[in-house]
Amino acid sequence: MDKQTLHQFLRKFFVSNGCKLLEEKEGLLRFLLTPELDEELMNRPFYWRYKKRLGQEGDPMELTLLTDPNETAEKAEYIHFGSPRLHKIFRLIRDSAQVARLYEKVDTASRTPLYPWLIRNISVHFSGKRKRTETHSVGLQLLNGQLATDWMENFSQVEFKQQISDQCYCLSPIIRYQSGYQRISSYMQSYLETVDDSWVKETAETLKQEEELLAHFFDQSGQEELEPEIREERAALYKNELDAVHKRLIPSIQMETINAGIFYLSEETAQRLLHKKEA
């Protein structure tokens, strides 16, 4: 990807995602980010979490990108094919590309609106002494922000097609896809805060025991008489074994999107599915 192609690619990406182009010249682009892209790209999770808890709107940052290494600007970032920032953008595009768009098959003789629902299927991997995976299907109505879980379980009863049925029309989303995507992420983060954390404590105890066992086995006392090469080998082996224990036992939670889609549903079908879930 040459400099000019990269420049045009970045301009199109940020502008098409709602960012304001503040300045452009050869080798330089400066944008005012949207809140959604700020949250995705600028590594400020605590700032946005704080603002959301207070119910306040955040102030998105400006981002100045240099596609020419010979250019200079205050608080600018040189971006090239191997830069982490560009790979983050590629990841966002890749995630967006997983979105399907399907329409409920409706047999009607009168004009019928179809409402957009963002459905995101997510796997959550819990790693520690015991490993387990949960699967969640979360739906967000992109007009009023209504959120519901376990959607895909009910979709087997609804017939979808790739074209809109006759006499039907789609209502335009008020909530943008990326914003809806992030709302579902926030919901999942809130859910994870309620999960029983006894597995973390259990894993931490096992980790401590194995660390103590390794330390005892590789006891460094009394090794002064050994050859330096042997001491170095034992120290390297101890570090490798300790790293392996940490990799296996340090508790972690990883959330991964399996796929996502925009499903257009009639109000009647959406309410029927919601009431079925509440029953």
Q: How far apart are CA 111 and CA 83, in angstroms?
A: 50
Q: Map out the domains of the chain as residue ranges.
A: 3-97, 100-279
H helix runs in 108-152, sequence order? none
- With tokens 């090469």, the residue in question is 229
- How many alpha carbons fall within 13 Å on the CB side of residue 146? 12
The type of residue at 15 is V
pLDDT, one tens digit for every residue, the chain (279 residues): 577 878 888 888 888 788 899 999 888 999 999 888 888 888 887 888 887 777 788 889 999 998 888 888 888 889 887 788 888 888 777 666 556 788 999 998 899 999 999 998 888 888 877 778 888 889 999 999 999 888 877 776 788 888 899 999 999 899 988 889 889 999 999 998 888 877 778 878 887 887 788 777 777 665 666 666 766 777 777 777 777 777 777 778 888 887 788 999 999 998 888 876 554
Q: How far apart are CA 107 and CA 209, in angstroms?
A: 64
- pTM for the full predicted model: 0.57
In 197-233, which positions are buried (b, 16+ CB within 10 angstroms) versus exposed (e)?
A: eebbeebeebbeebeeeeeeeeeeeeeeeeeeeeeee
